A and B are shown apart, each in its own frame.
Chain A
Amino acid sequence: MKILTCPINGPRPITEFAYGGELREMPDPARATDAEWTDYVFNRNSVPSTKCEWWCHTSSGVWFIAVRDTASDVTLRTFLYARSAGGAP
């Protein structure tokens, strides 16, 4: 069982966490074409790489961002979204 480090609660077993999808920028709904919007809604890039993902420590309700290398299955770091400007760490 993997261990994930919650920025608030420290390293905890993965069963205490829920995955919230990839952190993605939403296109401006007013300006996006139908094709661009459809691509945003339905398409995901599953190529192994470094991903920024939403994770929630369910026991405490803390949402944070995990930067994960999906090729090596290693979590590079985790941090609170709110403390960062514009989603960048």
Chain B
Amino acid sequence: MNRLAARPGEWIDRSQRIAFSFEGHAHHGYQGDTLTSALIASGVRTLGRSFKYHRPRGALSVANHDANAIVQIRRAGRSIPNQRADLLPIAEGLEAFAVNTQGGLARDRRRHLDRLSAYLPVGFYYKAFHSKRLFPYWERLFRNLTGLGAVDLDAPRVVTPKRHEFADVAVIGAGPAGLAAAVAAADAGAEVVLVDENPRIGGSATYALASETASAQRVADLIGSVTSHPRIRRFVTTVATGLYADHLLALVTQDRLLKLRAGSVIIAQGAFEQPAVFRNNDLPGVMLASGAQRLMHRYAVAPASRVGILGANVHAYRAALDARAAGIEVSVLLDLRERPGPQSLPLAETLRAQGVRVLNGTGVYAAHRGGSGDIDSIELAEWREGAWRRSSANAIAVDGLWMSVGFAPADALLRQAGAVVQYDARACQFVPGVLPPGLFACGKVNGVFDLDARVADGQRAGTAAALHCGFESRSCFGVGAPDQETATHPYPIVEHPEGMNFVDFDEDLQLKDFANAVQEGFDNAELLKRFTTVGMGLSQGKHSNANALRVLAQLRGMPLDSIAQTTARPMFQSVPMSHLAGRGFSPERRTPVDADHESLGAVWMPAGNWRRPAYYRRDRLTREESIAAEVRALRGGIGLIDVGTLGKIEAHGSQAGEFLDRVYTGHFGSLKVGMTRYGLMLDESGVIVDDGVIARLAPEVFYFTTTTGNSAALFRELVRLATWWRMPVSLVNLTGHFAAFNLAGPRSREALARLTSLALDDAAFPYLGVREAKIANVPARLLRVGFVGELGYEIHVPSGSAAEVWNAIRTAGADFGITLIGVEAQRMLRLEKAHIIVGQDTDGLTNPFEIGADWAVKMDKPFFIGQRSLAIIAKNAPRQQLVGFALEPGRYAGIRECHLVIRDGDIAGRVTSVGQSPTLGRTIGLALVTPAAARDATLSIRIDGGAQVAAPIVPLPFYDPAGARQRIDSGGARS
């Protein structure tokens, strides 16, 4: 019923009628309509309720930023919250509901809240939540009263792929300045991407220049040049929401996030029209003139039938002419300025000639609502004695009020990228001053509003941006003529004793809230923002920050250029979480026999970026019983552990031994070929960072292992050290190239003998030996290790042959009852031997002396990393010491890792490893404690719940102290 006759350039397709519903009522619109335009066309002007006071609100900007027209939609069986009605295209069968109401938009049971506004002062949250006792009460109340849409908990998991794009020059904003910039850059040879949030390019020219035929034609020509240009790609319905380092742009489309890397970036995003502040400036029917123009020209919708216009620039006059052309009666045009500028004057004459009342030096004191709740009249204000005051003139009946009193630059991306902006008193807006290299601005963000000047500014920026990317241009563009009149009023803000003059529509902030905040001391922009929450609503201050700064400057009696703006951060526009959630880029690593583990009942646990079997499920056994069974099987016969996740590195070169001497604490240059040795690695402060087994395969070839979680970073660090020390050592990371299995237990030798011709007796292959031989006809490296405290062989084979070796070992071991061992059982086996795990039994401060590893540290070497620091540490009293404790057999006290050791009421250390030893039938554990506590007979361990358990300290290791089972005990390392 408010649909206008078909007009040239309209965005709707009248041949496609679309049925949808709003708040349960059926409506119709056309293809191309947004929910806002279709509803206003159908005569619905109240689109939502405000956030705090639940006041009825309508359209404001119709520019994708209306924070009070937010809906929950149902479509294709899904319920989607928080859609912006001025952005949302209507679709057949769409069901939309206003958010933040109780009992529907019209009958919202909280609609009387605005009468209680006196009891909800600014900073109410801070005051209410100050009391710990009342916190839960207020929290429940506010969670209930405020908020937005409801999340659909049945929403499907969506993984949204990202897309990567590249361009020489990215132009953000396809208004006249952006169009001109794109053409200039592309003409210079640059590949250009032109981004605009609207479905069509043209920017403000698609609605603001209807009364300016020559200008409209000029923009139409520009659009033609852009569309036909081979080097310009247009990304429409795409919002640039973040500008990151080195010109990476986050672009949001309807279905995904685009990451655009550009050589240079031009910001031509224009300006947001700003509301005037007066009592009841939020009534449905009060809107920005640009919003009304968007409705009229893009969607052919008349937002009112008898309108008042409040202006302070030429755009107000153009809006009035547009209204007249659309058949809308203009009751009055109020110009805040005493003396309209040279562009406005002829338009004022035209309007007067058509019988329109045009009043200068006049504003709106208050709007009044009629029976429907919408605006029905305005009271006038006049400038008297330095303030806007109520005029004695009669109220004027209207059913709409359009505001065109000024603009704020859309400079958020510029400021995100580090541009410095300053207040330009002539343009009455902030403009960019110094721009970082490769970043350019043009058009309204520069405070340039006249069409010719905007086009000239765009050409200048486009040429400069192409030059920055190395293109040459013979064109030379000067700066356009300055604007003939200023577009923005310095203070379109009117006080009223009864308030309800809103500065921030998103957060329901009235003018007096700012005065109160400043009075309480929150008197700079950042503090004011946090206390009042101005600019923190859905539109992120697009229609409130500029006025808030003006109010703050006024209250403090300071010029605007001395008021610092709040920091601009991404995202500039709201982004669906599903756009950001995507695939992770940390791949999970799997050993070559991963599938076997799975089929054999593995219960997985993460180990670094690998997954390893924690244990293997057994019928009718619990987790603990399964782990104990694995431990007993290995001690009693033979077990097989997949240790392929260990870091595996080769070092080649004549100085390889010397290199390892410098990075490990032990002697490796003197290591005999065919032997291995345990190594501890420290950082420069003497703290243990890694351990492993180093094998010498040949005089100039070492093969060594590192802990699982540390392997990638450790390899990288070794390469750095070799570079730094200028040592000609070749390091090869074989972690993924080799699989490794630990075959251990008293019968492991017998099983292994079936797979190799290698002599395995102690004389030929002693403990700590390393041999290269074929296992099941696959070339393998065999290391005799003792990590789990039994006769054992680590078998390293190329990953490609891992499965056949694994299967051959399982087959050969079947006669001996071979059992697969998971990480949990391996941890218990090594705990029984008191072999430490770096990172579990040590922390970020533990040195080798504290864990009793003095034997592995060779202070007589010329140099190793951490040696000089250990020399200092050795002079001081030890800080802590690793001790073992064991409870009486059969006693289970609930001790867990990280439980604290208490001595004389103080913390004296913590438990690092603990478990029920199946071999010993008792709880055993390791604890890092103070030297005093280590000298006691028992540790006092505080368990969950606070009780303290007395745990006797016992000598280490717990099991086979002589090391007879693996022949020699020189420690071992595996984790």
A1 touches B685 (CB 8 A): no
Complexed CA–CA distance, A76 and B726 (Å)? 24
List of A residues within 8 angstroms of B804 by Cβ: none
List of B residues within 8 angstroms of A32 by Cβ: 868
Within 8 A of B (CB), among A45-89: 54, 56, 58, 61, 63, 73, 81-82
Q: Which of B245, B713, B719 contacts A2 (CB 8 A)?
A: B245
Complexed CA–CA distance, A59 and B748 (Å)? 40
Interface of chain B: mostly helix, strand, loop or mixed: helix
B246 touches A29 (CB 8 A): no
Complexed CA–CA distance, A40 and B868 (Å)? 11
A29 touches B867 (CB 8 A): yes
Does A18 make an interface contact (CB < 8 A)? yes
List of A residues within 8 angstroms of B719 by Cβ: 56, 61, 63
Complexed CA–CA distance, A7 and B118 (Å)? 65
Contact flag A63-B872 (CB < 8 Å), given A1-B248, A29-B863, A82-B726: no
What 0/1 readout, one digit per residue, does chain B (715-732) give for beta carbons within 8 Å of chain A?
011011001101000000
B244 touches A1 (CB 8 A): yes
Does A38 make an interface contact (CB < 8 A)? yes
Chain A residue at minimal CB-CB distance from B716: A56
B720 touches A54 (CB 8 A): yes
Complexed CA–CA distance, A34 and B713 (Å)? 29
Contact flag A20-B869 (CB < 8 Å), given A1-B244, A1-B248: no
Complexed CA–CA distance, A50 and B897 (Å)? 45
A3 touches B872 (CB 8 A): no
Complexed CA–CA distance, A30 and B719 (Å)? 25
List of B residues within 8 angstroms of A1 by Cβ: 244-246, 248
Interface of chain A: mostly helix, strand, loop or mixed: mixed
Does B684 make an interface contact (CB < 8 A)? yes
Chain B residue at minimal CB-CB distance from A58: B716
Chain B residue at minimal CB-CB distance from A65: B723
List of A residues within 8 angstroms of B713 by Cβ: 18
With an 8 Å Cβ cutoff, the count of chain B residues facing the other chain is 19
Complexed CA–CA distance, A61 and B722 (Å)? 13
List of B residues within 8 angstroms of A73 by Cβ: 245
List of A residues within 8 angstroms of B726 by Cβ: 82
Q: Which of A18, A29, A42, A63 contacts B868 (CB 8 A)?
A: A29
Q: Which of B245, B684, B716, B863 contacts A61 (CB 8 A)?
A: B716
Complexed CA–CA distance, A34 and B871 (Å)? 9
B720 touches A41 (CB 8 A): no
Chain B residue at minimal CB-CB distance from A73: B245
List of B residues within 8 angstroms of A29 by Cβ: 863, 867-868
Chain A residue at minimal CB-CB distance from B713: A18
List of A residues within 8 angstroms of B245 by Cβ: 1-3, 73
Within 8 A of B (CB), among A16-36: 18, 20, 29, 32, 34
Q: Within the complex, what minimum Cβ distance (angstroms) separates A41 from chain B?
A: 5
List of B residues within 8 angstroms of A81 by Cβ: 723-724
List of B residues within 8 angstroms of A18 by Cβ: 713, 716
B872 touches A34 (CB 8 A): yes
Complexed CA–CA distance, A2 and B246 (Å)? 5
Complexed CA–CA distance, A71 and B59 (Å)? 46
Within 8 A of A (CB), among B207-255: 244-246, 248
Chain A residue at minimal CB-CB distance from B725: A26
Complexed CA–CA distance, A8 and B247 (Å)? 23
Q: Within the complex, what minimum Cβ distance (angstroms) separates A27 from chain B?
A: 9
A37 touches B720 (CB 8 A): no
List of B residues within 8 angstroms of A38 by Cβ: 872
B246 touches A63 (CB 8 A): no
Chain B residue at minimal CB-CB distance from A37: B868
List of B residues within 8 angstroms of A42 by Cβ: 685
Complexed CA–CA distance, A20 and B714 (Å)? 11
Complexed CA–CA distance, A63 and B722 (Å)? 10
Complexed CA–CA distance, A58 and B869 (Å)? 30
Complexed CA–CA distance, A41 and B726 (Å)? 21
Q: Which of B685, B720, B869 contacts A56 (CB 8 A)?
A: B720
List of A residues within 8 angstroms of B685 by Cβ: 41-42
Q: Within the complex, what minimum Cβ distance (angstroms) separates A54 from chain B?
A: 6
Q: Within the complex, what minimum Cβ distance (angstroms) separates A18 from chain B?
A: 6
Chain B residue at minimal CB-CB distance from A2: B245
What 0/1 readout, one digit per residue, does chain B (748-779) give for beta carbons within 8 Å of chain A?
00000000000000000000000000000000
Chain B residue at minimal CB-CB distance from A40: B684
Complexed CA–CA distance, A18 and B713 (Å)? 9
List of B residues within 8 angstroms of A20 by Cβ: 716-717, 720
Within 8 A of A (CB), among B861-887: 863, 867-869, 872
| Contact surface of A with B, Cβ cutoff 8 Å | 1-3, 18, 20, 29, 32, 34, 37-38, 40-42, 54, 56, 58, 61, 63, 73, 81-82
| Contact surface of B with A, Cβ cutoff 8 Å | 244-246, 248, 684-685, 713, 716-717, 719-720, 723-724, 726, 863, 867-869, 872
Q: Can you list 10 A-B contacts (CB < 8 A)?
A: A3-B246, A18-B716, A29-B867, A29-B868, A32-B868, A34-B872, A37-B868, A41-B685, A63-B723, A82-B723
Inter-chain pairs besides A18-B716, A37-B869, 12 sampled, C-beta below 8 Å: A1-B245, A29-B863, A34-B872, A37-B868, A37-B872, A40-B684, A42-B685, A54-B724, A56-B719, A56-B720, A63-B723, A81-B723
The 6 lowest CB-CB distance pairs between A and B, nearest first, are A29-B868, A2-B245, A3-B246, A1-B248, A63-B723, A41-B684
